[in-house]
A and B are shown apart, each in its own frame.
Chain A
């Protein structure tokens, strides 16, 4: 059977499974809808958290990014796992003990202020929509490449599936679907990684394989990779190119940002007991670590294989995947020296970096480009980093069913994260905005109705993002983490560990973090993009890492402001005491 048909079968089967689970686990109360009736087993919750967390970015983009960044890519590996230690030790058990529905709920109650709640809702909605936009691009790529469906139709199919189980099942439906999605995505990630590890190093465990010697030689894979990348003019794979302070700050921003992401935190509200919240953070990190420790191996294999299979190859004899991805527009080739061979090395192949295809074909049958070649280097290949994981099985010539599996896995990763985010958005609208702020008199039934409506609206907006993808997705991801680190994490952390903090301090801190981080990122990413280089950065810290500075500013402002106003009321003191009790 060909890959196309197999992909239809795999994807169709997995979608049927998700819908079946949704019907089986419908939500009947707000308690079910927001937090799955607090009845989720820690292992199931761990898997659901892992699926919720591992998005299209983790599944599709991360290994590709690391493949091209080498050791600098470690910021994602450490940043996106280390946050769970903070979450488990500093936040999850206490927030579960608090026992309400949403993150703004905690902030609003702890700081006895609807203004604090509104600031939190604002940050939360911004962070969540930023994230959803990224998922929809992932869905679009997979549908257009593997199912050869129009991207728009693909997004609409994806939205219908999410609509079905998120609106119907709420948190309960989402949780059990995510358990299934975790199984699909981790299987889809590991199978090709294990195959490729065996092919390249003879070691079936990818985590060990990429530190092993290449088959039939005494050379370590990483040593060879260092040598090859060095010869092509890149930095050696296992060495850093960014400055230490920048790497430090990016890692920290991602870690604290992870611990402050609302859709992850809310998962710990769904377990029966406080001790279960700790346990499920532990299981979640195990399930995440399985993918995250495999990813750098995939990166190293992919980089090596990519170079081996295209370098100095005649374009007309280039492998099929090279031309397939060229047809989608994510690979481009400009023959600078007119020899018909593909030469890949450091530097941009094209002026303006991104390819602009016209409808003609060049002299070797390649897609013709309107860009002028960048003649300051000899690199002839443009490659979008997002395709490395998806193309990897084809590059390594794995059987068709593995390729189909990867497509189903990527969709599982994108849909599970999208559903989790949509739920957080709908809960904060129906619960925090309507029930707790503007329409306190509505009944539970009405609240549930509004929750379903806002989930539907959120899905519709997310669908629009998928069909008309905003060009700024990659830029705003840094924004989402920066804001989570600079606003939500400090508010939660100090709420638990610092009793003296009153509403004035907390609100001033959140606003300071929000404003400073936004100004810095907007300035370098949207306004003065030409100045976005290390000599102009504050202390050499890139916009991606600035959330960490924003967080420190939040702490300083909150500490200083809170002494000018009176202490929090006794009821809040008692609440915090109660959180700290066993």
Chain B
């Protein structure tokens, strides 16, 4: 049971970190020049990810993590009936 909690936790963390890597190192650096051919408003897309988009995604990722972990905590708290 404790193992299951830890495993779900690792799954959540790895998925979120993959997205974290994509929006910053991926879109902001590695494929940034490629994305620059697309425009949103006055921004080239790669430039936007490097200077704006990645930051917004970071905030979003932490709040998704908070939501998922609170849900997970709740599930295991109910099962074990004790509050840590």
Binding site for B on A (CB under 8 A): 66, 71, 73-74, 77-78, 81-82, 84-86, 88-90, 93, 207-208, 210-213, 220-223, 238, 240, 244, 247-248, 251-252, 255, 274-275, 278-279, 281-282, 285-286, 289, 292-293, 296, 577, 580-582
List the 3 shortest-distance A-B pairs measured between CB atoms, nearest first: A220-B42, A74-B50, A211-B42
CB neighbours of B72 from chain A (8 A): 582
Which residue on A lies nearest to B16, using beta carbons?
Answer: A89
CB distance B54 to A89 under 8 Å?
A: no
**Chain A: minimal CB distance from B51 (Å):** 4
CB distance B5 to A251 under 8 Å?
A: no
CB distance A582 to B76 under 8 Å?
A: yes
**Chain A: minimal CB distance from B53 (Å):** 10
CB neighbours of B43 from chain A (8 A): 211, 222
CB neighbours of B40 from chain A (8 A): 211
CB neighbours of A88 from chain B (8 A): 62, 65-66
Bound CA–CA A577/B84 (angstroms): 13
8 Å CB contact of B62 from A78, A84, A255, A274: A84
Which residue on A lies nearest to B79, using beta carbons?
Answer: A582
Bound CA–CA A85/B62 (angstroms): 6
Which residue on A lies nearest to B2, using beta carbons?
Answer: A581
Which residue on B lies nearest to A237, using beta carbons?
Answer: B47
CB neighbours of B44 from chain A (8 A): 222, 238
**Chain A: minimal CB distance from B23 (Å):** 9
Question: Of residues 1 to 41 in B, which have CB atoms within 8 Å of A's CB atoms?
Answer: 2, 5-6, 9, 13, 16-17, 20, 24-25, 28-30, 32-33, 36, 40-41
CB neighbours of B66 from chain A (8 A): 88, 275, 278-279, 282
CB neighbours of B42 from chain A (8 A): 210-213, 220-223
Which residue on B lies nearest to A219, using beta carbons?
Answer: B42
8 Å CB contact of A282 from B33, B51, B56, B59: B59
CB neighbours of A240 from chain B (8 A): 32-33
CB distance B29 to A85 under 8 Å?
A: no
Given contacts A88-B62, A88-B65, A248-B30, contact A580 B2 (CB under 8 A): yes
8 Å CB contact of A286 from B17, B59, B65: B59
Bound CA–CA A73/B25 (angstroms): 14
Q: Is chain A's binding surface mostly helix, strand, loop or mixed? A: helix
CB neighbours of A281 from chain B (8 A): 62
24 A–B contacts from the bound complex (CB under 8 Å): A71-B47, A77-B54, A78-B24, A82-B58, A85-B17, A85-B58, A88-B65, A89-B65, A207-B52, A212-B41, A213-B42, A220-B41, A247-B29, A251-B24, A252-B25, A275-B70, A278-B66, A282-B62, A282-B66, A289-B56, A292-B55, A293-B55, A296-B51, A581-B5
CB neighbours of B5 from chain A (8 A): 580-582
Which residue on B lies nearest to A42, using beta carbons?
Answer: B66
CB neighbours of A296 from chain B (8 A): 51-52
**Chain B: minimal CB distance from A30 (Å):** 25
Bound CA–CA A274/B83 (angstroms): 12
CB neighbours of B48 from chain A (8 A): 211
Which residue on B lies nearest to A278, using beta carbons?
Answer: B66
**Chain A: minimal CB distance from B57 (Å):** 9
CB neighbours of A293 from chain B (8 A): 52, 55-56
CB neighbours of A71 from chain B (8 A): 47, 50-51
**Chain B: minimal CB distance from A186 (Å):** 15
8 Å CB contact of A82 from B13, B24, B30, B84: B24
CB neighbours of B59 from chain A (8 A): 282, 285-286, 289
Bound CA–CA A89/B15 (angstroms): 11
Given contacts A211-B41, A240-B32, A577-B2, contact A81 B58 (CB under 8 A): yes
Bound CA–CA A582/B69 (angstroms): 9
CB neighbours of B25 from chain A (8 A): 248, 251-252
CB neighbours of A279 from chain B (8 A): 66
Residue of A252, A577, A580 with most partner-chain B CB within 10 A? A580
**Chain B: minimal CB distance from A37 (Å):** 20
Bound CA–CA A292/B5 (angstroms): 35
Which residue on B lies nearest to A245, using beta carbons?
Answer: B29
**Chain A: minimal CB distance from B2 (Å):** 6
CB neighbours of B20 from chain A (8 A): 82, 85-86
CB neighbours of B41 from chain A (8 A): 208, 211-212, 220
CB distance A244 to B30 under 8 Å?
A: yes
CB neighbours of A238 from chain B (8 A): 36, 44, 47
CB neighbours of A582 from chain B (8 A): 5, 72-73, 76-77, 84
Given contacts A212-B42, A238-B44, A581-B2, contact A251 B29 (CB under 8 A): yes
**Chain B: minimal CB distance from A582 (Å):** 5
**Chain B: minimal CB distance from A500 (Å):** 15
Bound CA–CA A88/B9 (angstroms): 13
Bound CA–CA A212/B36 (angstroms): 17
Bound CA–CA A223/B42 (angstroms): 7
Given contacts A285-B58, A581-B5, A582-B5, contact A77 B77 (CB under 8 A): no
CB neighbours of A282 from chain B (8 A): 59, 62-63, 65-66
CB neighbours of A89 from chain B (8 A): 13, 16-17, 61-62, 65
Which residue on B lies nearest to A273, using beta carbons?
Answer: B84
Bound CA–CA A208/B70 (angstroms): 33
Bound CA–CA A289/B52 (angstroms): 9
CB distance A78 to B2 under 8 Å?
A: no
CB neighbours of B6 from chain A (8 A): 580
Bound CA–CA A74/B69 (angstroms): 31
CB distance A77 to B51 under 8 Å?
A: yes
Bound CA–CA A282/B72 (angstroms): 18
Which residue on B lies nearest to A284, using beta carbons?
Answer: B62
Residue of B42, B54, B70 with most partner-chain A CB within 10 A? B42
Bound CA–CA A282/B59 (angstroms): 7
CB neighbours of B32 from chain A (8 A): 240
CB neighbours of B29 from chain A (8 A): 74, 244, 247-248, 251
